[in-house]
Structure formats: structure tokens, C-alpha cells
Structure 1
Amino acid sequence: MSVPVVSLTPEEFVATQRSDEFQALRRAHRRFTFPVSVAFFAWYLFYVVTATFYPEAMAQPAAGMNVGMWLGIAQFATTFAITYLYVGYANKNIEPRAAAIRERMEGQA
């Protein structure tokens, strides 16, 4: 399957970027990514600060491992969970809007 070659002017790209449709796409993206990024950074910072300044708390045994190991594993689990949630959110809220903008722009050529 070949991809159509579309030649758009810089003005057409700027007009698309300024459109209400594109701004709605940006808001949809930011609505998820900004709060989740801040929350994950705070969670990561908690982990690092706790490991640095309270090693005795991280060394406490818990369910066969220590608290630090469990929190480290939770960091990975959180990363995978966020990725899973983002893919679902993007498929529902971002990709349809991006596809509509792309189709409109390709139809202009």
C-alpha cells in the first residue's frame, strides 16, 4: 500500500494549527498527559527521596522482600499501567481527532 504524497504550504500547516479542531486535539492530549506526568513524577520523587533519606524504612521486610524492592517493582507496574491507560485514552480521544485533521489536510492537496 503506498502512502499518498501531499504537498502543503507552511500557511496551510499554520492555519490547521490555529484551527479549533486542532486546539481541541491539543486539549485532549494535555488533559491526560499533564496530570498523569505530574502524578508519576511526584510518585517517583517520593520513591527516590524515601530511598535516599529513609533507608531504614526501605529496608523493612514485607511479604518476602523489603519495602524498597516492593516500591521499585511498583514503579515498573505504574509505568505499564499508565501506558495501558494512555493507549486506551488515545485510541478513544486523540486518534480519531488526529485522523480527521490528517484526512482533511490530505484532501486539500
Structure 2
Amino acid sequence: MTTRQHDASIYEEIQAGERFKELRGRFRGWVFPATVAFLVWYVLYVVLSGFARGFMGTKLFGNINVALVFGILQFVSTFLIAWAYSRHAAAKLDPLADELRNEVEEKTAA
């Protein structure tokens, strides 16, 4: 078996293992719901902007209307999602990914 084939079999072995499946599940369990929630929030903003112009044009104070507040909240929610994902990755994904990487490195070094 060549070195390249040996390395490929190590990656296949890791990918088939329970810890990799757990890592993938933790990732998907966070990313998919967060993505759906953000897309719903974004589509709501677009739909309201197109079909509820009266509501979106409602002045809240001064020249600040609902549409402007919702638009700013789009940016705020983007940063909050990035921050929350960073915390999730640091706590739940990175430790397991580091274990798997170390295992691969040990097997490929041998």
C-alpha cells in the first residue's frame, strides 16, 4: 500500500468513526436551525418591505421608521449569529475536532 493510499484509508477510518459522526451532528444541529431561523428573518424583512409598505414606513421617532430598525437588526442578528457560532464551535466542535486531528496526525506519522 502506498503512503497516499495509507493516508486515505486513515481519513476514511476517521470519517466512519462515531466521534466524527458526533462532530458532524453537533455542527449540523447548530448550523441548520440557525440558518433556517436567519433565512426566515431575512425573508420576513424582504416580504414586509415589498408588501407591507405602510407598516414598514411607520415612523417610530423622528425620521426613524420600522424599515430602518428592521434593516439595522439584520446586521445585528448577523453579528449575533457569528458570535454565537464562535462560542458553540469553541465549546462543542473544536475540542472534538482537535482530538480527531491529533489522531490523524499520529496515524500518518507512523
Query: How high is the TM-score relative to the length of structure 1?
Result: 0.90
Match of 2:35 among 31, 37, 49: 37
More helix by share: 2
Q: Counterpart of 1:93 in structure 2: which amino acid?
A: K
Q: Distance in 2 between matches of 1:63 and 1:83?
A: 30
Q: Counterpart of 2:35 in structure 1: which amino acid?
A: S
* Structure 1 unpaired stretches of 5+: 1-6
Divergent runs of 4+, >3 A: none
Q: Distance in 2 between matches of 1:85 and 1:40?
A: 13
Q: Distance in 2 between matches of 1:29 and 1:94?
A: 7
Query: How high is the TM-score relative to the length of structure 2?
Result: 0.89
* Structure 2 unpaired stretches of 5+: none
% identical aligned pairs: 32
Deviation of residue 98 (structure 1)? 0.3
Cα distance per residue 1:45-104 (max 9 Å; x no partner): 100000011111111101330100000000000000111111001000000000000000
Match of 2:17 among 19, 29, 32: 19
1:76 corresponds to? 75
CA RMSD, 1 decimal: 1.4
